């Protein structure tokens, strides 16, 4: 059986020298954020001594694709295929009775800010917020489960504020509860296995249980335990769980908050949350994900959105090999689609389909599958060698955009596709796509004996 905890991965990182222990006293107010920012692409950081707290904080865990692979027990180049497999072969969770995450139980009255070392992140933000909280809820209409991440700001005592985008399932479920005059029970799991975090980010339909995809990623059912005070189930091997309810009629103004493009945004009011019970492991570790334009924040979405699009595009256009969401495009706005010998016009079709499926996408480049989509130099080479501006450029003004797009005006933006693929005939001997090289037989002979040279 797989170890479904976050701490298994921490020991693995420690063994490979990729976990840095900060022994010095540190403040949760801006200081943790500063260290995580300055080391955002470096080793994971474990803060053992946070002022005023017993509980350590860990951050920068999944700031590179290799870390996901390690955490899922696979090779780096198997990551996308595993995600696609998990989407196609989901596995339902298993309910267990005994859970490490319920070793310690705190009931009302609660002071979440005293229990958990939640970092205060950025200068203009009004209060600390939880960034790695995987929120579980059930659709009051269908009873179907939903699992996703949204920031939860400390509002004092047992109160939180949830900042949820209106188009996300969780917001739609909360809306349904409100229409019925009800609150929405939620449970928030913090300190999760990579499969839980990645699964929570998959772009699936309303009613599709993300925990089934977590099972697909793990290769076995994710183990859930029943909550103490709400009718929900949470990952048994998480570090911490908060149980409570979203109160859709209680709106709390958020003010400035960071978003993945790196800027502050002003979304208006968030939804009030009342927490009634906190459970955690005896020696729980608090996981913090650095928000803003930071590798971990961007990658979690990028890996999941790329895999979902690969699966969805391949269903309609078999020539599609892979959809890769780039790091520089904030892990959300830019996609590279690789295709095997696309037919005339098929690249444009793939671009439009991808944009139609994922609102966030703004600039999409199509390359051939001889190009490594993860290598920006090769992608740029494709544009230089295979892209004809007068006919391979798709300009779509006034397309509905995501509210996170830094350039949207009235929620529309100009979207662009660039088709950098060859044409039939391009690969003829001596033609524009035949790469200059020594004769194959000589090259192969030398390659086989290169150490002799």
Ligand X SMILES: Cc1cc2nc3c(=O)[nH]c(=O)nc-3n(C[C@H](O)[C@H](O)[C@H](O)COP(=O)(O)O)c2cc1C
Binding site for Mn ion (CB under 5 A): 146, 169
64 binds, among ligand X, Mn ion, none (CB under 5 to 8 A by kind): none
- Residue 67 lies near ligand X (rule: CB under 6 A): no
Please list every residue from 244 through 303 that binds ligand X, using CB under 6 A.
Answer: 289, 297, 300-301
Q: How far apart are CA 305 and CA 331, in angstroms?
A: 9
Q: Phi/psi at 43 (nearest 5 deg)? A: -60, 160
Distance of closest approach, residue 251 Cβ to ligand X, in angstroms: 15
Residues 119, 128: contact at Cβ < 8 Å?
yes
| Residue 167 or 249 having the CB closest to Mn ion | 167
- Asked if residues 185 and 231 have their Cβ atoms less than 8 Å apart, the reply is yes
User: Which tokens hold the place of 407?
Assistant: 């350039």
As measured in angstroms, the least distance from the Cβ of 56 to ligand X is 19
Stretch that binds ligand X, among 53-61, 112-120, 160-168, 417-425 (CB under 6 A): 160-168
Q: Rounded to the nearest 5°, which phi and psi values hold at 139? A: -65, 120
Q: Which residue is nearest to ligand X (CB)?
A: 148
Stretch that binds ligand X, among 163-171, 279-287, 322-330, 355-363 (CB under 6 A): 163-171
Q: Residue 110 Cβ, how far from ligand X at the closest point, in Å?
A: 22
Residue 211 CA to residue 71 CA, distance in Å, equals 17
Structure tokens at 245: 């309810």
Question: Does residue 65 bind ligand X (CB under 6 A)?
Answer: no
Angstrom distance (rounded) from CA 374 to CA 371: 9
Residue 17 C-beta: closest distance to ligand X, Å: 25
For the CB of residue 148, give the shortest distance to Mn ion in the complex, in Å: 6
Contacted entry of Mn ion, ligand X, none for residue 331, CB cut-off 5 to 8 Å set by kind: none
CA distance 292 to 289: 10
The verdict on 71 binding ligand X (CB under 6 A) reads: no
Nearer to ligand X by Cβ, of 99 and 118: the residue is 118
Binding part of the chain for ligand X, among 16-24, 52-60, 161-169, 410-418 by CB under 6 A, reads: 161-169
Phi and psi at residue 81, to the nearest 5°: -60, -40
Q: Please, is 220 exposed, middle or buried when counting C-beta atoms within 10 Å of its C-beta (0-12, 13-18, 19+)?
A: middle
Query: Which one of residues 81, 95, 114, 165 is an interface residue with ligand X (CB under 6 A)?
Result: 165
Tokens describing residue 137: 């809820």
Our measurement of the distance from residue 56's CA atom to the centroid of its chain's CA atoms, rounded to an integer in Å, reads 23
Residues that bind ligand X (CB under 6 A): 131, 146, 148-151, 163-165, 168-170, 201, 289, 297, 300-301
């Amino acid at each position: 059986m797989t170890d479904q905890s976050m701490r298994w991965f921490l020991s693995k990182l420690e063994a490979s020298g990729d976990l840095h222990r900060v022994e010095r006293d540190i403040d949760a107010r801006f200081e943790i954020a500063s260290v995580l920012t300055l080391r955002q692409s470096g080793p994971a950081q474990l803060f053992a001594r946070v002022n005023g707290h017993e509980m350590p904080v860990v951050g920068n865990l999944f700031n590179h694709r290799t870390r996901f692979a390690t955490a899922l027990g696979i090779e780096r180049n198997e990551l996308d295929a595993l995600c696609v497999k998990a989407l196609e072969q989901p596995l339902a969770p298993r309910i267990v009775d005994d859970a490490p995450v319920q070793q310690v139980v705190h009931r009302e009255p609660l002071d979440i800010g005293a229990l958990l070392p939640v970092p205060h992140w950025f200068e203009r933000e009004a209060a600390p917020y939880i960034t790695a909280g995987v929120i579980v809820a059930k659709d009051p209409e269908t009873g179907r489960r939903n699992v996703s991440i949204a920031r939860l700001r400390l509002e004092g005592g047992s109160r939180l504020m949830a900042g949820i985008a209106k188009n996300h399932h969780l917001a739609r479920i909360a809306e349904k509860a409100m229409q019925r005059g009800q609150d929405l029970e939620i449970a928030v799991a913090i300190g999760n296995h990579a499969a839980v975090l990645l699964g929570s980010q998959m772009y699936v339909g309303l009613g599709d249980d993300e925990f089934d995809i977590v099972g697909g990623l793990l290769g076995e059912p994710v183990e859930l335990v029943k909550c103490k005070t709400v009718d929900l189930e949470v990952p048994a091997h998480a570090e911490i769980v908060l149980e409570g309810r979203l109160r859709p009629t209680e709106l709390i103004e958020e003010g400035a908050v960071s978003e993945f493009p790196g800027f502050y945004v002003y979304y208006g009011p968030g939804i009030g949350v009342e927490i009634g019970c906190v459970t955690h492991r005896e020696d729980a570790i608090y996981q913090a994900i650095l928000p803003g334009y930071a590798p971990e924040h961007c990658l979690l979405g990028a890996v999941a959105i790329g895999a979902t699009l690969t699966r969805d595009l391949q269903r309609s256009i078999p020539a599609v090999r892979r959809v890769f969401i780039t790091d520089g495009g904030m892990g959300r706005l830019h996609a590279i689609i690789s295709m095997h010998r696309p037919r005339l016009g098929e690249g444009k079709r793939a671009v439009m389909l991808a944009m139609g499926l994922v609102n966030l996408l703004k600039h999409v480049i199509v390359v051939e599958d001889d190009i490594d989509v993860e290598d920006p130099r090769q992608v740029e080479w494709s544009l230089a060698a295979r892209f004809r501006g007068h006919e391979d450029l798709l300009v779509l003004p006034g397309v509905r955009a995501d509210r996170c797009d830094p350039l949207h005006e009235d929620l529309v933006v100009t979207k662009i596709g660039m088709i950098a693929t060859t044409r039939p005939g391009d690969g003829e001997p001596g033609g524009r796509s035949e790469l200059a090289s020594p004769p194959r037989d000589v090259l192969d002979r030398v390659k086989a004996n290169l150490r002799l040279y």
